[in-house]
Structure 1
Amino acid sequence: MSQGEPSIRVRLWTRQIIETITLVLLMLLVVRLAVQNFHIDGQSMEPTLHDQEFILVNKAAYLLQQPARGDIIVFRYPKNPQEDYIKRIIATPGDKISITHDAVIVDGVALHERYINKQDAHDYDPATTRRTIGSDQYFVMGDNRGNSSDSRDWGTVPRQNIIGKAIVVYWPFGVDNFGLLPSESDVFAHVH
């Protein structure tokens, strides 16, 4: 074995370690840019999401497609952009929404929302919730309609405030809804 051989091995080994560390850091950066964790604080999304659960939010979900009715989104609260909220999209730009005492109606179609809290008192004020959604605006509501501060109270969410789409509950481990969040797009299938 020549004297130059150990130094070549050390250099190759050092290079491999540096490349591995760089690759891991790059992967962590990409994941951090595309995915964010979010802590549920409150009961506004029950029974779908519960107080003190942790979820992952896909921040890249809307790079190639628009937010859709039924998506659960995390967004910067329009009245205070330092606060993040989580709600379900009910109406998208151009939709006509009205809410009666017992139904949410989007473009003339009454929604059969199986995901809402059935114990809610559906005592909505129809006068404040009959409107056409503006461009780049989204009408959102919590699934726990009797205990949710949402678009009925403070208006629509601008597109630029949307952080991403909720995709999975990861904590606490083993709860009933642990795992991927179900798609509720079929609730809106008849809305044009």
Structure 2
Amino acid sequence: MTQQKENNSIKEDVLFLILKVVIFLILLAVMFLFIFGITRCSDNMMSPAFKDGDLAIYYRLQKEYQPSDLVVIQKNGEIQIRRIVAKAGDNVEITEEGLKINGYLQQEAGIHTETLPYTEGISFPITLGAEEYFVLGDNREQAKDSRIYGAIKLSEIKGSVITLIRHRGF
């Protein structure tokens, strides 16, 4: 009789453990489907902050963004990581001198190349409308960003980057 009780107790413990694991996996799936997202950086346009192959975990529920925020955007069917440099109401101009926001030349920490206008793309100056943001890649000489496709809408922002996982660490 004691042997049978021990077997039933072990079975109950195993079933309880399986139930805990299933609940944990469901919670994890819900978190990454609705609250957080994960994407792979597929270019070097954000170098040196993000390199090709790095993973970015982003927060989907944030709806207000500020200049210098790193965001994941979906533009023309492509997922990109870019840096916000201007928000709604700002006047953006890129000249041979560099990036000007509301008439002031910007000094950006962590940007190692000059911000110059592209020959193709939009014409400057541009004033951002409601729920519009101007984004640039950190590798300004090669980045495909708002200088080419213009301001992005709030609806094109998937979320704010909260952490980076280096590809080379695996």
> TM-score band, normalised by the shorter chain?
0.7 to 0.9
Conservation of the 8 A alpha-carbon contact between 1:101 and 1:125: no
Tell me the distance in 1 between the aligned counterparts of 2:13 and 2:44: 53
Report what 2:69 is aligned to: 71
Secondary structure of the residue aligned to 1:69 is coil
How does the TM-score come out when normalised to structure 1? 0.73
Secondary structure of the residue aligned to 2:88 is coil
> Relative to 1, partners in 2 of residues 1:148 and 1:125: Cα closer, same or farther, differing over 3 Å?
closer
Instruction: Name stretches of at least 5 consecutive residues in structure 2 with no aligned partner.
Output: none
Percent identity of the aligned residues?
25
Report what 1:44 is aligned to: 45
Tell me the distance in 1 between the aligned counterparts of 2:95 and 2:116: 8
- Offset at residue 42 of structure 1 (A): 1.9
How does the TM-score come out when normalised to structure 2? 0.81
> Relative to 1, partners in 2 of residues 1:110 and 1:6: Cα closer, same or farther, differing over 3 Å?
same
Instruction: Name stretches of at least 5 consecutive residues in structure 1 with no aligned partner.
Output: 176-192
Secondary structure of the residue aligned to 2:141 is helix
Tell me the distance in 1 between the aligned counterparts of 2:68 and 2:88: 14
- Offset at residue 160 of structure 1 (A): 0.9
- Offset at residue 59 of structure 1 (A): 2.0
Conservation of the 8 A alpha-carbon contact between 2:83 and 2:136: yes
- Offset at residue 83 of structure 1 (A): 1.5
Aligned residue-pair number? 167
Report what 2:147 is aligned to: 152
Question: Quick one: which of 102, 108, 128 aligns to 1:113?
Answer: 108
Confirm whether residue 58 of structure 1 aligns to residue 59 of structure 2. yes
